[in-house]
Amino acid sequence: MKALRAFAACVVCALAAAPALARVPQLELDLRLDPASRELQASARLEAGADPGFALYRSLAVRSVSADGSAAAFERAGREGDAVLWRIHARAGAKLRIEYGGVLPALDRSLDQRGALGALAPMASSEGSYLPASGAWYPSPAELFSYRVTLSLPADQRGLVPGTLVAEQVPEAGTGRYRATFAFAQPSDGIDLMAGPYVVREKLVPRAGAAPLRLRTYFTPAIEPLAAGYLEDSARYIAMYSKLIGAYPFDAFSVVASPLPVGFGMPTLTYIGAEVLRLPFIRATSLGHEVLHNWWGNGVYPDYATGNWSEGLTTFMADYAYKERESAAAARDMRLGWLRDYAAVPAAEQGSLAAFRSRAHGAAAAVGYGKAAMVFLMLRDRIGQPAFLRGVRAFWKAERFRVASWADLRAAFERASGRRLGGFFAQWVERAGAPDVRIVRAQARAAHGGYELDLTLEQTAPAYRLRVPIEIVTGARSETRSIEVEHERQTATFRLAAMPDGVRLDPELRLWRILPRDQLPPILRQWILARGPRLIVTGAQPDAAQAATQLALRLFESAPRQIAAAALERGDDPALVIGLHADVNKALVQLGLPPEPAALAGRGSAQVWTIERPPGRAPVAVVSARDAAALEALARPLPHYGAQSYLAFEGAHAIVRGIWPAPGRLTPVTR
């Protein structure tokens, strides 16, 4: 789904690159927040820098400043976006105490993940307050600093910032105020504060030789029944990654419900839309992704100047690892998804991994998440799982709470595998784009009592160095070999026991490359995003025709053009054939299109499928329903299934879905 897709590609609380993380300044904040009136009263203690000053959100104002215990002069020194710059007259090193406050903007419920990616204003309301690190709601002492925050809230509210809970006072019987103190000892680049009408649930997990791990959920009463499951799964993910990588680097982890449809990973917590938290797959995948960011992103900081590797490694070790555990087919589907998304990125936007910083738009995500994850897969294929894991552990041990780059990753994997990986990392990290590799000749002959197969591959210039998997098909049997290539045209010879029939290039999609059309199965997204979609409404029943048109308006992002069935081949824009079963079947016969696929026949109240067509012919998708109500039921769910080739629905509920297999063309072997 749209909000979910945005969630799945979360944003780690971005840490600015900093060369050294030695001793950092400390900030102490005492906060009193009243979400109903949106009033924030704050007191900050910090050490003055050389030219003391800071930015503060425009609705907040400084009331008094003291330096080493005496009143100090201060003034407004200009504007910076939505913030006012304040200057303080104090010597460097003076102990400053700054009293400030004001009324925060109301929570903007129209914000979604995309909107929330930029700098946000601090926002408050009874249903939820979010004061993001980018919101200039406190005087920042430096780019990186550690902090201690004491938060006071009305009795019915709870709140938190990333860090260790060091003190907490829960008011009795709803009177008085809630108070909690959090400390963050590691260098941080900002403080995100969240509050809301939360019910807090907690699970303490004992740890050998360390304080127990405090797991919490901050959920609204409506989703509070989900808390136990989230606590259990958080504990499970933390235990799993601690064992795999190295001990969890913090002593707390919280899942915090947001009134906004966002999904953010921050150290020690994740902030997720309350509606999103209800979805079962969030616990099964996205939660693990966010937990893992406590190692990659918030435990080791990516060096943004040379490329953010943390999303790729997190995607590979979380989302992709779960698919691998599910089945080989599920893992292949995810690899196909990465390659297919990438195939849709215009060449000009295909940046290198070295240039990836964060997910600003779809093209960046296809590279920074998809390509980066595939690079880790290719690396593991090359050096083997044991060396890959040794490298991951060594990298964690060496770089914990430090800024690390792709070069540091390379060094860790080189040591772990005993191999030089300079060429591998250079071509995949520094270079933009992907190789385009093809089989141009496959010829076999009887030789030496067996058979020899000569295979010639070509790739675009400048050539990549690749190990290309080749499937050799002989009758009903098939085996996979590989060819090492480094030139634009290269021939290899295989010795075989039987005369082969055909060969296929990388049918399992383990290579980052430009997918040819025959490995790109048609999916509904091609219809959803089509610039000039065409609509063929079959049948004459007015209520069905109206439901069909309404559904098409919901599905397509551009308004469709209604055409007669006979006009299908007079254009190559994607077309949707839609109607009731009998009318659709008749139209398919009339158009010479294949009938409803066997995988869907008789399943549910409506079926949707795409049809693979020869090059140059208009892509066709079909929606076939039992009655007008079954068509109406699709209007809400169908647009969310862009990644599928076929589905069956019972009412609004998808009961079958999938992507057509597209193993690639079998190149016949000539004899």
Q: With respect to Zn ion, which residue has the nearer C-beta, 312 or 664?
A: 312
Q: What gap in Å lies between CA 137 and CA 61, rounded to an integer?
A: 10
Q: With respect to Zn ion, which residue has the nearer C-beta, 353 or 470?
A: 353
Nearest-approach distance from CB 376 to Zn ion, in angstroms: 14
The two structure tokens encoding residue 323: 């698919």
Nearest-approach distance from CB 230 to Zn ion, in angstroms: 18
**How distant, in Å, are the alpha carbons of 70, 71, 342, 558 from that of 89?**
12, 10, 53, 58
Nearest-approach distance from CB 11 to Zn ion, in angstroms: 7
Per CB under 5 A, 262 contacts Zn ion = no
Q: With respect to Zn ion, which residue has the nearer C-beta, 294 or 645?
A: 294
CA atoms within 13 A on the CB side of 191: 28
Number of chain residues interacting with Zn ion (CB under 5 A): 2
Nearest-approach distance from CB 304 to Zn ion, in angstroms: 14
Q: What gap in Å lies between CA 535 and CA 614, rounded to an integer?
A: 20
Q: What gap in Å lies between CA 32 and CA 43, rounded to an integer?
A: 9
Q: What gap in Å lies between CA 54 and CA 80, rounded to an integer?
A: 10
The two structure tokens encoding residue 140: 């920042």
Nearest-approach distance from CB 314 to Zn ion, in angstroms: 5
Instruction: Point out which residues pair with 442 in neighbouring strands.
Output: 455
Per CB under 5 A, 153 contacts Zn ion = no
Nearest-approach distance from CB 310 to Zn ion, in angstroms: 7
Q: What gap in Å lies between CA 132 and CA 258, rounded to an integer?
A: 12
Nearest-approach distance from CB 6 to Zn ion, in angstroms: 11
Per CB under 5 A, 98 contacts Zn ion = no
219 close to 226: Cβ distance less than 8 angstroms = yes
Of 10-18, 35-43, 128-136, 252-260: span binding Zn ion (CB under 5 A): 10-18
The 10 Å Cβ neighbour count of residue 51 is 8
Nearby residues of 186 by Cβ (< 8 Å), 6 or more positions away:
146, 249, 267, 401
Q: What gap in Å lies between CA 485 and CA 616, rounded to an integer?
A: 32
The two structure tokens encoding residue 6: 């945005």
Nearest-approach distance from CB 13 to Zn ion, in angstroms: 10
Q: With respect to Zn ion, which residue has the nearer C-beta, 311 or 583?
A: 311
Nearest-approach distance from CB 373 to Zn ion, in angstroms: 11
Q: Measured on CA atoms in the order 500, 502, 506, 507, is the torsion positive or negative? A: negative
Per CB under 5 A, 365 contacts Zn ion = no
Q: What gap in Å lies between CA 538 and CA 525, rounded to an integer?
A: 22
Nearest-approach distance from CB 270 to Zn ion, in angstroms: 10
The 10 Å Cβ neighbour count of residue 167 is 10
Site for Zn ion in 309-328 (CB under 5 A): 311
Q: Are strands 502-505 and 667-668 parallel, antiparallel or unpaired?
A: antiparallel
Q: What is the b/e burial string over 551-561, where b = at least 16 CB atoms within 10 angstroms of the residue's CB? A: bbeebbeeebe
Q: With respect to Zn ion, which residue has the nearer C-beta, 10 or 94?
A: 10
The two structure tokens encoding residue 580: 């009731």
Q: With respect to Zn ion, which residue has the nearer C-beta, 263 or 507?
A: 263
Q: With respect to Zn ion, which residue has the nearer C-beta, 310 or 519?
A: 310
Q: With respect to Zn ion, which residue has the nearer C-beta, 311 or 414?
A: 311
Nearest-approach distance from CB 364 to Zn ion, in angstroms: 13
Of 3-11, 276-284, 410-418, 453-461: span binding Zn ion (CB under 5 A): 3-11
Q: What gap in Å lies between CA 648 and CA 656, rounded to an integer?
A: 5
Q: What gap in Å lies between CA 438 and CA 483, rounded to an integer?
A: 12
The residue number whose beta carbon is nearest to Zn ion equals: 10
**How distant, in Å, are the alpha carbons of 118, 234, 325, 643 from that of 544?**
44, 47, 43, 26
DSSP 63-116: EEEEETTEE--EEEEEEETTEEEEEE---TT-EEEEEEEEEPPBP-TT--TTGG
Nearest-approach distance from CB 297 to Zn ion, in angstroms: 7
Instruction: Point out which residues pair with 252 in neighbouring strands.
Output: 214
596 close to 611: Cβ distance less than 8 angstroms = no
Per CB under 5 A, 6 contacts Zn ion = no
Q: With respect to Zn ion, which residue has the nearer C-beta, 10 or 403?
A: 10
Q: With respect to Zn ion, which residue has the nearer C-beta, 157 or 310?
A: 310
Q: Which of 8, 10, 46, 515 touches Zn ion (CB under 5 A)? A: 10
Q: With respect to Zn ion, which residue has the nearer C-beta, 290 or 632?
A: 290
Q: With respect to Zn ion, which residue has the nearer C-beta, 10 or 409?
A: 10
Nearest-approach distance from CB 284 to Zn ion, in angstroms: 16
Instruction: Point out which residues pair with 169 in neighbouring strands.
Output: 179
| Residues 293-312 as x/- pattern, contact with Zn ion by CB under 5 A | ------------------x-
Q: With respect to Zn ion, which residue has the nearer C-beta, 311 or 632?
A: 311
Per CB under 5 A, residues contacting Zn ion are 10, 311
